[in-house]
Each structure stands twice: as C-alpha cells, then as structure tokens.
C-alpha cells in the first residue's frame, strides 16, 4: 500500500497548581510573561496560549514531521513551562481535571471570546476547569477531510477509553474514568460529529447553525473531530491531556495512523456503514465511564468487547499504516503500557489523598530528560 505520511501537530492544556496542596492557581499571566521575557517559545518550537481560565495554560506545537520531533517539542515545552511555573510559585500538572474542590473565583481570562462564552453559557462555562489534548493531522483537501472524518468516527470510543485521565472532580471520585468528557459534553457544539453526505452537506450544516444563532462562525464548532478554519488539518479533540510525554507521543502516532488508514480506504473506495449517532454517543459515554477497566462497546458491530481485545483489534487494523511510518514503536509501547499499567485515571486512583494525587501527577508531568 502506498500510504501518504502526513505531518502532525499537538496541543496540550495544563493545570497551574499550588505546590503545597495541589489546588489550581490563576497565575497564567505571570507564567506567560516569564516565558515571553526568556524567548522560550522559539526555543521550544511551540506557541504558548491562554485558555478560558487563568489557572490553565496551553501549548501548541509547530508542524512536526515525525514522532521524534513531537517528543522533542513536548519535552522542551514542558520543561520551559515547569521552570516558568516554578518561578511564579506554582507547578505544572497534566491531567484532565484537578481532583480538589473547584476554585470559588472564576478567574476568567480577559478576552472578548471567553467573556462572550461565559456570558452565554453561564455555569457550564464557569465550571470548565478541564484540560484536553488535541491532535492535528495535515489535510489540505477539505472534501477529502469530510470523508475521512466520516470514517474516523468509529474510533472515538476507543480513543476516549485509552486517554481517560480525569476520575476526580470537585473533591470526589466521580466513578468515571474521564469526567472531563462529561463536563465538556454539556456544551451544545461538543460531542461526535455527524456523518455528512458531502462537503456541501457539511457546509449546509454550518450555515444552518450560523443562521440559527448556535454559532458565530465555523471556529465555534467543538466536535470531537473537526476541520479547523485556521490551519489545513483534521483535528481530534476528544482526549484528556495525558500525564506522561510518551503517552502523548504514542497517541499522536495512533491518530496519524487512523487518518492514514481512512485516507487509504477512501483511495480504494472501500464501502462502510455509517454509525448511528445514538450508538456512537452511547459508546463514547461508556468509554468515559469505564476507561479500560471493563468491556467496551464496538460502535460498528454494537457488541461489547473486552477493552484489551478492542485495543488489540485496533492495533491490528492500523498495523500497515503504522509500519509505513517507520515509527510504530512509540505507538506499540503506548498500547502495551495501557494493558500492563492502565490509563492515567487508573494510576490516579492508586494514589492516597487528593493532594498526594496531584503531587504524583506533577512528578509524572515533568519530562525525564536533560534540557538541551
């Protein structure tokens, strides 16, 4: 098979926490000022950004040609952010939620877009102390992008399960592996995308959403898979941010292989049956609830499958695409570690009290490398 190997990019959202008790600290402005003064972004080949709340900080990588480049960028960026956070009496933590009670002060980032979102969505915006990982894969052809997005919907449940890293919220164990997903799912433009018959069908949907007042423009679509308006990519947005760099590297490689597999299936005109929206939504919820600890729902066949078996099936299907990249190793390592050690949510639940869990996450967030 003649696979096209696309470039990739990754975004990670991090917590800024109190080094004493692990609670969220709204000092993003100060951390960003420290980074700007040091010229750190250029050195790390990434952009550092605000998010909705000031106790969040986000990185967006440059375009990466390989997983090695992804790893280097994540290592350099995290080390830079850790140093800047510590300069401002805080620590960096990579997990989908903070387990301690939510801050009483909203500490919103003073940007018009965020203020408008909060004015409109009220409590669900004020509660949005969540942290995700977004992966971009190059997609120059929007028509092809819609068809690839249709094919990739099937993978959303397993992707949700393997990245689950938010079992605690507001001081309690929620019973979910990814409670971040449940908080995010309250937003009207969140969740899995529909199956679109064509690019014009997609554009009609966007036009109707704009006319109805649901969104201001296409950039306000927050689906689990979307076609961004600013960059020619297909973007996967369903994952909790993962604690360890190698987890993110493996996940990026997995997403790239999924897109490559879908593009090849399009090239061969392989027929497939669209998944019903209700089935897909349930399968994703089930994955958020249980992570990799119970059977998962295969949304294509509607059967329950042991989580490890469904992951193995996924790896088997993607094996040709992974081999074509020459970088199957990090993805296989990620999958094997999931089967032996569990998800980030599983590791958090092995901790003791909530503050110690944050301490554990902080320790695992820092890359185990020597700065260049």
- Write a three-state SS string for 248-264: HHHHHHHHHHHHHHHHH
Q: How far is CA 200 from CA 32, 195, 218, 354, in A?
A: 41, 12, 14, 49
User: Torsion angle of alpha carbons 39, 43, 46, 48, nearest 10°?
Assistant: -30
Structure confidence by residue, pLDDT tens digits, 270-318: 999 999 999 999 999 999 999 999 999 999 999 999 999 999 999 999 9
Asked if residue 3 lies in contact with residue 321, where contact means CB atoms within 8 angstroms, the answer is yes
Tokens of 290: 């249980």
pLDDT over 80 at 52, yes or no: no
Check if the beta carbon of residue 122 is closer than 8 Å to that of residue 42.
no
Helix (H/G/I), strand (E/B), else coil: 74: helix
Distance CA 335, CA 324 (A): 18
Residue 137 host element (H or E)? strand 132-138
Q: Please tell me the predicted confidence (pLDDT) of residue 103.
A: 85
Contact 73, 64 (CB under 8 A): yes
Q: Residues 131-168, buried b or exposed e (16+ Cβ, 10 A)? A: bbbbbbbbbeeeebbbbbbbbbbbbbbbbbbbbbbbbb
Give the model confidence (pLDDT) of 160-186 as tens digits: 999 999 999 999 999 999 999 999 999
CA–CA–CA angle 211, 216, 218 (5° rounding): 95
Model confidence, pTM: 0.95
Q: pLDDT for 185-216, tens place per residue?
A: 999 999 999 999 999 999 999 999 999 999 99
**Distance in angstroms (rounded) separating the CA atoms of residues 293 and 344:** 12
Exposed e or buried b for every residue in 70-104, given b needs 16+ CB within 10 A?
Answer: bbbbbbbbbbbbbbbbeebebbbbbbbbbbbebbe
- Compute the distance between CA of residue 183 and CA of residue 123 in angstroms, rounded to an integer: 11
At residue 118, the pLDDT reads 77
């Amino acid at each position: 098979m003649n696979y096209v190997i696309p470039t990739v990019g990754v975004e990670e959202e991090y917590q800024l926490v109190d080094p004493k008790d692990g609670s969220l600290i709204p000092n993003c402005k100060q951390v960003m000022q420290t980074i700007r003064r040091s010229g750190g972004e250029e050195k790390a080949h990434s952009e550092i950004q605000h998010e909705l709340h000031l106790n969040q900080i986000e990185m967006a990588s440059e375009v990466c040609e390989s997983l090695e480049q992804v790893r280097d960028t994540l290592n350099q960026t995290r080390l830079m952010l850790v140093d800047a956070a510590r300069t401002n009496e805080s620590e960096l933590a990579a997990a989908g939620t903070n387990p301690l009670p939510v801050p009483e002060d909203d500490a919103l980032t003073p940007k018009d877009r965020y203020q408008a979102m909060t004015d409109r969505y009220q409590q669900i915006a004020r509660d949005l102390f969540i942290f995700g990982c977004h992966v971009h894969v190059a997609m120059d052809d929007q028509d092809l992008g819609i068809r690839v997005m249709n094919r990739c919907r099937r993978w959303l449940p397993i992707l949700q399960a393997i990245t689950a890293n938010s079992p605690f919220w507001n001081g309690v164990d929620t019973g979910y592996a990814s409670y971040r997903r449940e908080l995010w799912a309250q937003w009207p433009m969140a969740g899995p995308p529909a199956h679109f018959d064509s690019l014009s069908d997609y554009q009609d949907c966007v036009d109707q959403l704009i006319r109805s007042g649901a969104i201001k423009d296409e950039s306000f679509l927050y689906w689990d898979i979307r076609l961004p308006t600013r960059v020619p990519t297909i973007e996967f947005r369903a994952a909790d941010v993962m604690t360890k760099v190698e987890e993110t590297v493996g996940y990026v490689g997995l997403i790239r292989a999924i897109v490559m597999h879908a593009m090849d299936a399009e090239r061969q005109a392989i027929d497939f049956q669209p998944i019903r929206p209700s089935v897909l939504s349930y399968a994703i919820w089930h994955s958020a609830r249980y992570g990799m600890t119970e059977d998962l729902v295969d949304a294509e066949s509607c059967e329950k499958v042991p989580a490890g078996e469904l992951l193995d099936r996924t790896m088997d299907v993607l094996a040709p695409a992974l081999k074509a990249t020459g970088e199957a190793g990090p993805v296989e390592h990620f999958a094997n570690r999931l089967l032996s050690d569990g998800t980030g949510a599983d590791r958090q639940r092995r901790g003791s009290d909530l503050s110690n869990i944050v301490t554990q996450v902080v320790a695992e967030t820092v890359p185990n490398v020597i700065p260049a």
